[in-house]
Amino acid sequence: MEQATTVADTTADVVTTGAAQTTDWWGLLLYCVIIFAIIYFFMVRPNKKRMAEYQKMLDSMQVGNRVLAAGIYGTIKKINDKTIEMEIADGVVVEVAKGAIANVE
């Protein structure tokens, strides 16, 4: 009779442990989803917005605008695909990468 009780107890423990592992799995999955959502809304999304505004600023550049590039102010003389030519002093024209542009006035 004692063996039957032991087998029944062991079976009940296995069933209980299986149910606990299932709830732990869903809890872990929910925790991961919440963490990724927080990272997305506080880091990824604002960065995408900032990059879109920066790209809009670069696209709005025109010849004659005053820009700040790599800490140097100058006036745009020519716009190429990946670079701009800007005049930093009378007769001094330098070629600067568009990615170095910090501000357009």
Q: Is the pLDDT of residue 6 over 90?
A: no
User: Which of 3.40.50.2000, 2.30.30.60, 2.30.110.10, 3.30.70.141 is the CATH number of 62-105?
Assistant: 2.30.30.60
**Contact assessment for residue 75 and residue 87, using Cβ atoms and an 8 Å cutoff:** yes
State if pTM tops 0.85. no
Q: Is the pLDDT of residue 26 over 90?
A: no
Q: Exposure of 37 by Cβ count < 10 A (0-12 exposed, 13-18 middle, 19+ buried)?
A: exposed
**What are the extents of the domains in the chain?**
1-60, 62-105
pLDDT at 27: 86
Q: What is the pLDDT of residue 33?
A: 94
- pLDDT tens digits for 61-96? 999 999 999 889 999 999 999 999 999 999 999 999
Instruction: Supply 34's token pair.
Output: 């919440």
- pLDDT, tens digit, 9 for 90 and up, residues 40-60: 999 999 999 999 999 999 999
